[in-house]
């Protein structure tokens, strides 16, 4: 299986719940290594740009308002089949539909405040990583 990189955000609700460590632990226990990380409070423009594909959707305004409501921590995860594996660990967008034991089942309170973001495809991952990280911020994985 291919070694991939994917992009992850721990959203403001999960940062406020003090569960960054628990979420990192789930990544690591599932074979995903953190190869870049930063914590920041997104600006309106950063959040709008990041979610531009949803700009015509009814939930866009609320989504952006939520994403700028507090600090987030974002990371690049590397491992075998990382994009899909990460989406599996996260669980469904709506926590009511998320499988037991997934991050969203355990930490998300609603579809709007759903704890984490993860890239939905390899091409998306490359674009999203480049949106927030420069090449020299991506570290080689130590094996
Ligand atoms: P994300 O991009 O945050 O990882 O979430 P996702 O792929 O599972 O879901 P996506 O379709 O990309 O939607 C982005 C975020 O918008 C909010 N959303 N609300 N009310 C709604 O019907 C609705 N649909 C999506 C969610 O917070 C979702 O994470
Ligand atoms: Mg998405």
Question: pLDDT tens digits, residue range 73-97?
Answer: 999 999 999 999 999 999 999 999 9
28 within 8 A of 58, measured Cβ to Cβ: no
Distance CA 78, CA 88 (A): 15
Question: What ipTM describes this predicted complex?
Answer: 0.94
Using the mean position of ligand 1's atoms as its centre, give its distance from the Cα of residue 111 in Å: 7
- 87 annotated ligand binder: yes
Please give the structure tokens belonging to residue 123: 């091409």
Q: Mark the residues whose beta carbon lies below 5 A from ion ligand 2.
A: 120
Q: Active site includes 117?
A: yes
Report residue 111: phi and psi, to 5°: -65, -25
Q: Whose CA is nearest to atom 11 of ligand 1?
A: 93
Ligand 1 pocket mutation pick from 55, 93, 114, 128 by most atoms within 8 angstroms of CB: 93
Q: Is 17 annotated as a binding residue?
A: no
**Confidence at 142, pLDDT banded by 50, 70, 90:** low
Q: Is 26 annotated as a binding residue?
A: no
> What is the rounded distance in angstroms from the CA atom of residue 39 to the CA atom of residue 14?
13
DSSP symbol at 102: S
**pLDDT tens for residues 13-45?**
999 999 999 999 999 999 999 999 999 999 999
pTM: 0.96
**DSSP classification of residue 99:** P
Structure tokens at 136: 């020299």
Domains, the chain, ordered by start: 3-136 (3.30.70.141)
Tokens of 28: 């690591």
**Measuring from each residue's beta carbon to the nearest atom of ligand 1, which residues come in under 6 Å?**
54, 59, 63, 93, 111-112, 114, 117-118, 120
Work out the mean pLDDT of the chain and round it to a whole number: 97
**Distance separating the N- and C-terminal Cα atoms of the chain:** 17
Q: Which residues contact 14 (CB under 8 A, 6 or more apart)?
A: 20, 23, 103, 107, 108, 115, 116
């Amino acid at each position: 299986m291919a070694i991939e990189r994917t992009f992850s955000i721990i959203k403001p609700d999960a940062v406020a719940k003090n569960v960054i460590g628990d979420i990192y632990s789930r990544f690591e226990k599932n074979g995903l290594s953190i190869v870049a990380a930063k914590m920041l409070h997104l600006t309106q423009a950063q959040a709008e740009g990041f979610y531009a594909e949803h700009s015509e959707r009814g939930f866009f305004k609320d989504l952006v308002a939520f994403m700028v409501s507090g600090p987030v921590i974002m990371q690049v995860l590397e491992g075998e089949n990382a994009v899909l594996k990460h989406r599996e660990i996260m669980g469904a967008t709506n926590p009511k539909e998320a499988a037991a034991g997934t991050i969203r089942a355990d930490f998300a309170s609603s579809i709007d405040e759903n704890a984490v973001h993860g890239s939905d495809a390899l091409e998306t991952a490359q674009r999203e990583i480049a949106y927030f990280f420069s090449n020299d911020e991506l570290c080689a994985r130590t094996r």
